[in-house]
Structure 1
Amino acid sequence: MELNERKMKILKAVVKDYIETAEAVGSRTISKKHNLGVSAATIRNEMADLEELGYLVQPHTSAGRVPTEKGYKLYVDLLMGTNELNDSDKEIIEKCVESNMNHIQSLIHETSKMLSQLTNYTTIGTTRLVKPSVIKHIQLVSMGEHSILLIIVTDTGDIKKSDIPTKKYLDQAKLNIISDNLTRKLGGKSITDIDNNLIAFIKYEIGEYSSIVDKLLSVLNSNVSDDDVSITLNGVTNILDYPEFNDVLKARSFLDMLETKETVAKIIQSKGILKDNTNIIIGSDNDCQQAQDCSVVTATYKVDNEQIGRISFIGPTRMDYSRIYSIINYMNILLNNK
């Protein structure tokens, strides 16, 4: 059974309606609200197929259907568009950015606070308190048949080392070639300068040895301590406005997980769906188990090609991804024009 264009249109309609209403969506609702050019009976059959494919689930025998995590991921990855923000939203965002543009710390944290009020989601503003070190040299050293030593030298003279297990032996000559390639591509850059496009390009170039890049990034990230980062939480209790968190234990678990800086950092650093400067983590993709009932959307912002910080939105998996993504894009436009 293939996921054809009609099924994708129906899935998009179900996701959008469920985000809006938090109620299971039936075929008649889709037929009336969306001009898909097919009968309610056809839509019902297609929704049954989407359920069989794992994109929808029927919570009750007589009810409509709701998206699964798999359904949300397809929507975010392929079906979601951006919406034009209304003039009121634009004015609020513009005023906040304009009034804080001369102080980077305030820009991220005050904008994060404003966006929590605007969207009714919990937001996290993250900035670095110290400038991250810059890569000066990368060297890979053979340590035997199944081990490589990764050495990273920074501009401050720090030397960071880590062992990398390998499935097959790599001689030192080959490792020197890879080391030179990595140094050329990453020398003079900090961890904040290394974007996903550059990572993908380097991985493509070194092919079967791409796992070395993952380890390298892990080492660089691990050397950023919690004390080097300023984090502000806004709208922590906003999640209680959503029916998914009416359960007292579920709500308490959410509030508890935001109590420590370490947990908050883990929540927003998990790997999700990457779209431009945005990382979208849906449900169980989050490395933090307590956050797996939520979705986290994190935007990384730069001014003059230098990363200034991140703003993360946390809400139920039923969050309005399209609206959040549109806000993030509008912020990009404002910052790139400064």
Structure 2
Amino acid sequence: MLDNRKLRILYAIINSYILSAEPIGSRTITKQYDLGVSSATIRNEMSDLEELGYLNKPYSSSGRVPSDKAYRLYVDEILKNKKYNIDLGKKNQIKKILISESREIEQLLQNSAKVLSAITSYTALAISPSLNGAKIKHIQLIPIDEMQLLMVLISDTGAVKNSIFRLNKAIPEEQVNTISNYLNHRLKGLSIDEIGEELSDGIMREIYEYKATIDKIIPIINQSMEDIDNVDLYSDGITKILNFPEYKDLEKAKSFISFIEDKDLVLDLLLNNPVSQDIEIIIGNENIYDSIKDCSLITTTYKLGDKTLGKIGIIGPTRMDYLNLINILQLFSVNITEIIDMVMGKHISR
């Protein structure tokens, strides 16, 4: 356990390094912070912090940089004392931007990743809801022309899937409505595993004349439900890593970009990180993948009611302004949850 003086010096070094990206010496701390001790005392304390594993001394430099252990101590202090808050002005501003182009969860998450990356200048990541076992809430067939139909499928979780398909022959609009009503009657409340079982006893006699059309629709319904059950990944600002001095080495930058472009690896990283609190932070060597061992990942969750649906977060060099980024992510968490409740809730209540 570090005493109060060592903690204040360590936090001063972390804050200075976040801003400058340059190794920090005792003179810098003396000039920038009024810690009430001499430069010599700060030097001695920095040596002790280095021996304890909280500071590293880069090759050919007299200054020090924070270690992953230092960032972990710093971040845990922020999370423990909840030194973050919701700025209502910023929250409403972000919400207005997000909601303007978001009518489905997929659009909302794509837009959220784009706006989050723009605000933070980091690579932003978002994963769609993990909705295994989602059930059909509503099916609507809408004629586009004589030979094409739009199928809108809404799940009980608020996910919306649209599919356009061609008919073998034209059917009147009133018959399209009849088929819609039939499908809703038979399939509402069923999961993908239950659809085939429900229809295994055949199509009712009074609707049998539309069997060819229904047979064409059922595989589209199955595919839509599979898409809803599958988790998807959205990212934005991947090349922003090049703006950080830590990634001036192009090989290192290419390794990072290659990792982020590998959907399976990123999903594994996000989904295998257990959600134990609203904000989760993985720092440096805590990452299991070599390509991002110089990075930190900060994620938060979004919900529908009390159910956690998915995550949104940022990834970049460990030299992050953690407090500011945690505050921003909290804004996105609250906003995405509210928009899902408001916009997607309309679909669910149908």
- TM more than 0.5: yes
1:66 is aligned to: 65
Q: Secondary structure at the match of 2:288?
A: coil
2:253 is aligned to: 251
Using the TM superposition, give the Cα deviation of residue 23 of structure 1 relative to its aligned residue in structure 2, in angstroms.
0.6
Matched, 1:9 2:8: yes
Deviations 1:147-169 (A, max 9, x none): xxxxxxxxxxxxxxxxxxxxxxx
Deviations 1:263-311 (A, max 9, x none): 1112324548x77312111112112222212111111111311223211
**Distance in 1 between the 2:31 and 2:260 partners?**
41
Cα-Cα RMSD: 2.9
- The share of aligned pairs that are identical, in percent, is 40
1:39 is aligned to: 38
For 1:27, the aligned partner's letter is: S
**Distance in 2 between the 1:133 and 1:60 partners?**
54
Q: Measured at CA, do residues 263 and 332 of structure 1 come closer, stay the same or move farther in structure 2, by a change above 3 Å?
A: closer
Written as runs of structure 1 = structure 2, the 5 A alignment for 1:1-338 is: 2-60=1-59, 62-79=61-78, 82=83, 89-90=90-91, 92-99=93-100, 102-128=103-129, 131-133=131-133, 228-271=230-273, 276-334=277-335
Q: Secondary structure at the match of 1:239?
A: helix
Using the TM superposition, give the Cα deviation of residue 84 of structure 1 relative to its aligned residue in structure 2, in angstroms.
6.0
**Distance in 2 between the 1:15 and 1:315 partners?**
16
Structure 1 unaligned regions, length at least 5: 135-223
For 2:27, the aligned partner's letter is: R
2:187 is aligned to: none
**Distance in 2 between the 1:20 and 1:303 partners?**
37
**Distance in 2 between the 1:260 and 1:47 partners?**
40
Using the TM superposition, give the Cα deviation of residue 44 of structure 1 relative to its aligned residue in structure 2, in angstroms.
1.4
Q: Measured at CA, do residues 297 and 270 of structure 1 come closer, stay the same or move farther in structure 2, by a change above 3 Å?
A: farther
Identify the structure with bigger relative contact order (alpha carbons < 8 Å, sequence gap 6+): 2
**Distance in 2 between the 1:86 and 1:21 partners?**
26
Please say if residues 245 and 251 of structure 1, whose CA atoms lie closer than 8 Å, have aligned partners that are also in contact: yes
**Distance in 1 between the 2:42 and 2:268 partners?**
41
Using the TM superposition, give the Cα deviation of residue 35 of structure 1 relative to its aligned residue in structure 2, in angstroms.
2.3
Please say if residues 131 and 229 of structure 2, whose CA atoms lie closer than 8 Å, have aligned partners that are also in contact: no
**Distance in 2 between the 1:225 and 1:110 partners?**
19
**Distance in 2 between the 1:225 and 1:52 partners?**
52
Deviations 1:85-105 (A, max 9, x none): 878854542222333565333
Q: Secondary structure at the match of 2:128?
A: strand
**Distance in 2 between the 1:70 and 1:297 partners?**
16
Q: TM-score, normalised by structure 1?
A: 0.65
Please say if residues 268 and 312 of structure 1, whose CA atoms lie closer than 8 Å, have aligned partners that are also in contact: no
Structure 2 unaligned regions, length at least 5: 135-225, 343-350
Larger radius of gyration: 2
